Chains A and B, each alone.
Chain A
Amino acid sequence: MCKYSKLIPIIFFFIFLIINSFAKPITIKVWYPDELGVKPKYVDKAAEDFRKAFPDVNLEVTRYKIPSGDFLTKLLLAIDAKEAPDVFHVGGTLMPEFVEAKYIRPLTPYVVKWEDWQYYPKSIKDAVRYKGHYYTIPYGLDVRWLYYRKDIFAKAGLPTDWKPKGWDDILNTAQKIKNSVPNVIPFVIYAGVAGGGGTVNHGYIPLLYGTKALAYDIKSGKYVIDTSAVKKVLEFYKKAFIDLKLVPQEVLTLPKPWTTMREKLGAGELAILFEGGWVYGGWVTKYGLENVEKTVGYTLMPSEKGTPYFTVGGLGTCWYISSQSKNPDLAWEFIKRFNTRDIVAKINIEDPHPVARLDSAELPEFKAIKYLYDCTQILNQAKFEPMAPGISKFGNRVQLMTGRVASGEMSVDSALQKFIEEMKSDFGDVIIK
């Protein structure tokens, strides 16, 4: 054999490598968390449509059956290790943080050419714009209600079409229930670290907005602490938890207070609860629509003295394109196929949320459901969650502050002082009124 015989296998190997790299199909990775089991069929439908349109592309969809917090950790680690998926699904509140971390791509070039973009109302478009760019397309929005048990109200001799005239009315109503209906928790509002995001978005923020104050100033990019407003919020917590003992202390310590409290309201053991709109669907699944319509009422959150009534809106969870994606155009094609009129309508019928697109809201099967109809109506009165970077740090400080007051550990003034110190330490510059 000639002396170059050893080279032949090496040459073949390199030819093999070269062919392989050309023949390798483009892969688009899509990751999302889901425990409830509603999303998969819609994600799969979008995937199917995508594959039909792009048969040469390898679309890998992975569903993680883990809580969204654990998914977030997993996602962030993957991004850090430069192994991010092309498309991922996280909460809209984190958008500013993801932008600041340079983790996501703006969708602006795509949406301006998208014919469906016209169906999204201006308020939604404004909500997904950060520093001049659009970063995501929401589909199922979050709203919150002040839920109450009509049957318990009837037992207490209260009118079942409740429209609280202000914070004091809420407390008085709860007090009446405490006095007349035994074995029932009068009122729950989340506080402390145990409440997690619930403390912030179902407790603190609704109350804060009720004083007409804001938490974050978009223009200057700084957090705002309106001391007199925050004091009022803390006073409410103090009254509810300590003075009148309308909210049980376990709310501060249960491992998953939101799960427990939702169950309790559904079972008729809790009278008043401020929670997310998505919880209603859970009760309907468990107890049947007719039953729930008879027993569970919902009303808007009042401001401190009554008007304006409002709800706290959130973007829900949505899809983003990773900045590490090598094929952003294809990634967009997937997102586009998920955000169709029909998918958006159907997924939000199954997992009740108001929809972000007007044409989905007009679909008869969507309009037919009273609860969803009501949710969509109140979007006009929605004040959105603060869209700010560092929102998780802020949330943590709020949790600590409310927890300290609700447990009696600190007085309102000390807790507020502490909060100001901690916010300054976290964010440096904070606007204090």
Chain B
Amino acid sequence: MKRNQFLILGLLPAIFLMTFLFVLPSLWGIYSSFTNMALLGKEAANFRFLGFENYIKLFKDSAFYTSFFNTIYFVIGSALIGQFLLGLIIALLIDYAERRKIPGRGIVYGIVLLAWINPTLIAGFQWSAMYDYYYGTLNTFLKFLGLPKINWLGSIPMLSVIVANIWRGTAFTMLIWLSALKTIPVELYEAGKIDGANAFNRFRYITVPMLRDIITVNLIQITMATMGAFLLIWAITSGGPGLKTTTLSLFAYRTAFESYRLGYGSAIAVIMLLINLFFGIIYIRLFRRR
């Protein structure tokens, strides 16, 4: 069909750019995961093809398991529970506030949004100052209340980093829900109220079904984005203490740029890719029931 051909033409520039700067590097990365390429040491002089040896090593490496589970905690904590629920709640509240003319909704919307468009490095800087043990805002506040200081980044690093990430990313979910909520006709809610349904049931039986696809997409997006989240954690804890906040993306980075073992680092990256694939398929299956 002539139209199809015309449309393919439109795709060419994107395909060209993405191939060179995306596909090829990714393929190189996948290839290198089967070697012991390194930037330093004797492997830098000549590398060997290793087959699956890197992956076998990975499955025996406790650091891998630690970072794997850290990634799970981080994604569930900050994205699935944190950003999703908080974004949802805020969106619902704003929507409600709009109808009942409660003041403050504009400020809430604004400040949540600001936290999201704020560059990640700055967010990392802000939160590392907030969590600073000796002089940070949080501990200063605790001292003011006469309470003992909490070693945020030392004793509860994962929680601290999760909170920072929730602060950072909630706006995305909030935006999605806000625009989605407006697509539901008011009449449905009115009908529901007449039928005697309370707010929670209205949400469950009207809102959710209508927005199923949007929920799916949103969950996929925030899961994948959070899985690859690097800069925020890096700026606050660099993965520490020890490996306590090292997620897979940090583990991959440190292996590649601190230990300079490129091959091994790429193997970690490929595992991340597979995990994303896995989650993607699950979400699609779960929500495509319609």
Contacts and interface: CB of A to CB of B under 8 A. Distances in A.
Interface of A: 69, 73, 76-77, 79-80, 94, 97-98, 100-103, 192-194, 249-250, 252-255, 260, 389-390, 392-393, 396, 400, 403-404, 407, 409, 418, 422, 425
A139 B25 CA distance: 41
A102 B44 contact: yes
Given A193-B241, A255-B238, A69 B258 contact: yes
Interface stretch (B34-42, B178-186, B195-203): B34-42
Contacts of A193: 239-243
Interface of B: 38-45, 57, 60-63, 128, 133-134, 151, 153-155, 157, 237-243, 257-260
Contact of A194 (B38, B60, B240): B240
B257 A73 contact: yes
Interface centre among B40, B61, B62 (most CB of A within 10 A): B40
Given A98-B40, A100-B42, A400-B63, 7 more contacts: A76-B39, A76-B40, A97-B40, A100-B44, A101-B43, A255-B237, A400-B243
A100 B237 contact: no
Given A249-B154, A250-B154, A392-B259, A194 B241 contact: yes
A396 B259 contact: yes
B61 to A, nearest CB: 7
A77 B39 contact: yes
B42 A404 contact: no
Contacts of A392: 40, 258-260
In order of increasing CB-CB distance, the 9 nearest A-B pairs are: A253-B154, A101-B44, A100-B42, A253-B241, A76-B39, A102-B45, A403-B242, A252-B241, A97-B40
A94 B40 contact: yes
Nearest to B155: A249
A255 B151 contact: no
B264 to A, nearest CB: 10
Contacts of A260: 134
Contacts of A79: 39
Interface centre among A73, A193, A252, A393 (most CB of B within 10 A): A193
A418 B154 contact: no
Interface centre among B41, B128, B240, B259 (most CB of A within 10 A): B41
Given A249-B154, A396-B259, A192 B40 contact: no
Given A101-B40, A254-B133, A425-B60, A404 B259 contact: no
A393 B259 contact: yes
A80 B153 CA distance: 36
A425 B258 CA distance: 18
28 contacts: A73-B257, A76-B260, A77-B39, A97-B41, A100-B42, A101-B39, A102-B45, A192-B241, A192-B242, A193-B239, A193-B240, A193-B241, A193-B242, A193-B243, A194-B242, A249-B151, A250-B133, A252-B154, A253-B157, A255-B237, A260-B134, A389-B42, A392-B258, A392-B259, A392-B260, A403-B242, A404-B242, A422-B62
Given A252-B154, A392-B260, A407 B242 contact: yes
Contacts of A77: 39
B247 to A, nearest CB: 15
Contacts of A425: 57, 60-61
B191 to A, nearest CB: 56
Nearest to B60: A425
A419 to B, nearest CB: 11
A73 B262 CA distance: 12
Contacts of B260: 76, 392
Interface centre among B57, B153, B240 (most CB of A within 10 A): B240
Contact of B42 (A101, A194, A249): A101
Contacts of B39: 76-77, 79-80, 101
Contacts of A100: 41-42, 44-45
B259 A252 contact: no
Nearest to B236: A255
Contacts of A98: 40
B154 A101 contact: no
A322 B240 CA distance: 34
Nearest to B260: A76
A248 to B, nearest CB: 9
Contacts of A255: 128, 153, 237-238, 240
A94 B157 CA distance: 32
A422 B242 CA distance: 15
Nearest to B157: A253
Nearest to B241: A253
Contacts of A403: 241-242
Given A101-B44, A249-B154, A400 B258 contact: no
Contacts of A407: 241-242
A193 B61 CA distance: 17
Contacts of B38: 101
A205 B128 CA distance: 31
Contact of A390 (B41, B133, B243): B41
Given A194-B241, A392-B259, A418 B45 contact: no
B33 to A, nearest CB: 17
Nearest to B154: A253
